[in-house]
Amino acid sequence: MVSLPLSDLTVIDLTAARAGPQCVRQLGDWGADVIRVEPPTVRAADLGERHGSDFQNLHRNKRSIALDLKTAADRDVFFGLVERADVVVENMRPAAKHRLGIDYDAVRGVNPRIVYGSISGFGQDGPGADRGGVDQIAQGASGLMSVTGFPDGNPVRAGFAVTDLAAGLHCAIGILVALHERARTGTGRWVRTSLLEAAIAMLDFQAVRWTVDGVEPARQGNEHPTIVPMGAYATADGWINVAAWGGALWDRFTAVIEHAGLREDPRFATPSARAHNRAALSEEISGRLRTRTTAEWLGRLDAAGIPAGPVNTVAAALEDPQVAHLGIVQPVTHPRLGTLRLVGNAFSLDGQTAGIRRPAPECGEHSAELRADLGA
């Protein structure tokens, strides 16, 4: 088996829900030995969830040990694991880890080299730190929902757990930064992020439109907030995204849709004029694009070098030939569930991809071997 870049790392996984497992998944996919610490009591309802697609996708590439961290004996086993580990990741409410006695200071006391990753809803301290935070709450609190949806409609959540996933990625990056520093200093760090911070970081240019320009962003539907034309338009049989905002792209676009009058119309002569007359331009473009199918327009736009793409369903996207070529959908064999097609890691290294080496474990599946390793 080819060695993966993180195969020398041991990660203790105390996470649940989505943001924490997303972080740990990045490390496990690239070879880290992930040990998931779970409560020993499994309800019947949990078993069904465990064998569901979401759990299998989130928790692959792990071993599992069942520990009751409220008991002194099992906390001793946990700290035995910590002594040999490189990373601990948790996404409890800030106070919970202190109540259990497994907070950063306690863990660092056992292993000063440990890198401890924490993900919360709103941060580890401050006036809102103790609030419960899940993805949709963070989407609303961060302002993300205020810029998602149509101008005359209600605020809309993103169609996936975007703040959970972003917080997990930010935590994984922070852990790798801390591990890089540890190679020089020999000392670990406490990496902290939250759903709120990740969401605001992802607002990116929308956030600095307010902090720098004093402009409060608003909902623009399927059109770009500042660049025109860039948006989704109906075709004869579906929808297409087009980005033809300026210069030669704009000229080529008007030629492709056979509407040279757009170039001559003073309302659309410059990028700022097009932005000012967004609604009128959208109506003109929509009228043209409805005359042909998505495939016909894609052929013409691709030939002209104009960025464009279909608005796929999830099923259509996952069956796209380019997606198949990239290999992001990967199989793994589960002893009870058979072959599962899961969503792999999103980057490669010189063509080497992160592997899905093992399915999500059963609760406590590896307790005996891990305890034996510790002599417990």
Structure tokens at 258: 């056979």
Query: Which residue in the block uniquely carries the two structure tokens 């950063």?
Result: 104
Give which of 38, 360, 15 is closest to 171, Cα–Cα: 15
Task: Please tell me the distance from the alpha carbon of residue 357 to that of residue 129, in angstroms, as a whole number.
Answer: 37
Cα separation of 175 and 190, whole Å? 9
By annotation, the residues acting in catalysis are: 164
Q: Is 345 helix (H, G, I), strand (E, B) or coil?
A: coil
Phi-psi region of 61 (alpha: psi -120 to 50; beta: other; left: phi over 0): left
Distance between CA atoms of residues 106 and 228, nearest Å:
54
Side-chain half-sphere CA neighbours of 282 within 13 A? 18
> Read out DSSP for 1-54?
-PPPTTTT-EEEE---TTHHHHHHHHHHHTT-EEEEEE-S---HHHHHHHTSHH
Q: In this structure, what DSSP letter does residue 223 have?
A: B
Please choose, from the candidates 207, 187, 189, the residue with its C-alpha nearest in 3D space to the C-alpha of residue 198: 207
